[in-house]
Amino acid sequence: MHGFAYKNGTLHCEDTDLQALAQEHGTPLYVYSSGTLLDHYKRLDQALDGVDHEVAYAVKANSNLSVLRLLAEEGAGFDIVSAGELFRVIKAGGDPKKCTFAGVGKTREEIEYALKHEIYSFNVESEAELRYLNEVAADLGVIAPAAVRVNPNVDAKTHKYISTGKSENKFGVDFEAISDLYARAASELKNIHLRGLQMHIGSQLTSIDPFIEAVDKVAPLASQLKADHGIEFWSIGGGIGIVYEDSLQAGSEAWWSSKSDEERPLTLAQYGEAVVPRLKDLGLKILLEPGRAIAGNAGVLLTKCLYEKKGSAKTFKIVDAGMGDLIRPALYEGHHDIVPIKEPAGEVRKVDVVGPICESGDFFCQDRELPDFQPGDFIALMSAGAYGFVMASNYNSRPFPAEILVDGGTATVVRKRQTLDDLIAGES
């Protein structure tokens, strides 16, 4: 569920009119619901009641300082993948001692930065990385906390670009090799503290089955590593999917209750009900690393229709946002519901919604039946709170959009729109 709905004929974020925001701040414009962010975080936290746990928000999903601050104030931990993300967490008031550092290509500078800030653990992706971590820690005269990422070879049945738990993916160490790696590390790597175990099988999973398969497969390994090496935590990853199609309707509890068990997407409560019984007797702290599940449906991208172009084969609605603002549709045909800010009541037409960038891949939808909005009208691209602004670029020398965080009827600019001068800052 989320805080976006039509009220008095216009789309609102909580109690804030998005038409008014678009007119005041211009477009493209990202808008986030603080109430939705907090609700999703709390639902995940409650879903893991019964086990010692921590929700470690995946910063890569949405790294705006105000979003991070909101979650830090609720006690969230953070899953980071770069020194820059750790820097952001610290600047937002987050505790580096509640950060786990993932990613396959950590540099020496990043490792040193994280060690100096005493992060909770490095999630190590290979034996080579573990040995390099030991080397850097020895040079600094410290002990590096580490967890190796196990690749359980479980098919998450998600898009190939966001699958991470199969043997052909670049992430993690093969399941069969983990025990021997921990044994070698314990005897040879004197500047490594084997603190935990980590796994992640993919993103945007809307079925519980892959999660259950992975947990059932890896749980005995986690128990063995606890007995042999005294590990204290098991990070079971993230990957819980969100509703992209019917996104606006999914903000209502009535939409969820109208679905049969077979039709209803995986809920946070169902996830907890399935995994908690499998985790509660392990005696390990459980880390959960959700990003999209917290932020995805908490944000929209507002854009303005500039022109309508009618061709012999298609009708194009040309808007002022492009793939540089939201790349998911162009990158892997990610779906985003598109809704007019003014509540529609008229006809529906089959159109392509496209941006201004000089690429044929610069589209938000193709051959989709949509309400017939007109040039000058504002529309919202739903479910844009995760992997939206964080993947933005200045391609075609287009400035980054602004970001706004809404709390009830209060809208705060949490990132100013980039200026043309900002575009060339640092160049000569």
Binding-site annotation, residues: 239, 289-292, 328, 332, 359, 387
pLDDT tens per residue across span 67-122 = 999 999 999 999 999 999 999 999 999 999 999 999 999 999 999 999 999 999 99
Model confidence at 204: pLDDT above 90: no
pLDDT at 250: 93
pLDDT cut 90: percent of the chain above it: 86
Dihedral angle sign, alpha carbons of residues 185, 118, 38, 285: positive
Model confidence at 369: pLDDT above 50: yes
Contact 352, 338 (CB under 8 A): no
Q: Smallest Cα–Cα separation from 390: which of 375, 401, 398, 378?
A: 401
pLDDT at 205: 87
pLDDT at 163: 44
Model confidence at 346: pLDDT above 50: yes
Binding-site annotation, residues for pyridoxal 5'-phosphate: 239, 289-292, 387
Residue 155: pLDDT band with limits 50, 70, 90? low
d(CA 401, CA 29): 6
Q: Smallest Cα–Cα separation from 199: which of 177, 175, 224?
A: 175
Model confidence at 161: pLDDT above 70: no
Instruction: List phi, psi (to 5°) of 403.
Output: -125, 140
pLDDT at 162: 42
pLDDT tens per residue across span 253-311 = 899 889 888 888 889 999 999 999 999 999 999 999 999 999 999 999 999 999 999 98
Rg of the chain (C-alpha set) = 22
Binding-site annotation, residues for substrate: 292, 328, 332, 359, 387
pLDDT at 172: 83
- pTM (predicted TM-score): 0.94
Highest average pLDDT, of 203-212, 265-274, 410-419, comes from: 410-419
pLDDT at 265: 86
Contact 123, 102 (CB under 8 A): yes
- Is residue 267 exposed (0-12), middle (13-18) or buried (19+ Cβ within 10 Å)? middle
pLDDT at 164: 45
Model confidence at 206: pLDDT above 90: no
CA triple 248-250-252, angle to 5 deg: 100
Residues taking part in catalysis: 358
pLDDT at 170: 59
d(CA 208, CA 272): 10
Q: Kindly list the structural domains of the chain, giving each domain's residue range(s) and its CATH number in brackets, ordered by start.
A: 4-30+297-421 (2.40.37.10), 35-293 (3.20.20.10)
Dihedral angle sign, alpha carbons of residues 2, 247, 297, 375: negative
Q: Which residues partner with 45 through β-bridges?
A: none
Lowest mean pLDDT among 36-50, 60-74, 76-90, 242-256: 242-256
Show the 3-state SS of the chain. CCCEEEECCEEEECCEEHHHHHHHHCCCEEEEEHHHHHHHHHHHHHHCCCCCEEEEEEHHHCCCHHHHHHHHCCCCEEEECCHHHHHHHHHCCCCHHHEEECCCCCCHHHHHHHHHCCCCEEEECCHHHHHHHHHHHHHHCCCEEEEEEEECCCCCCCCHHHECCCCCCCCCEEHHHHHHHHHHHHHHCCCEEEEEEECCCECCECCCHHHHHHHHHHHHHHHHHHHHHCCCEEECCCCECCCCCCCCHHHCHHHHHCCCCCCCCCCHHHHHHHHHHHHCCCCCEEEECCCHHHHHHHEEEEEEEEEEEECCCCEEEEECCCCCCCCHHHHHCCCCCEEECECCCCCEEEEEEECCCCCCCCEEEEEEEEECCCCCCEEEECCCCCCCHHHCCCHHHCCCCEEEEEECCEEEEEECCCCHHHHCCCCC
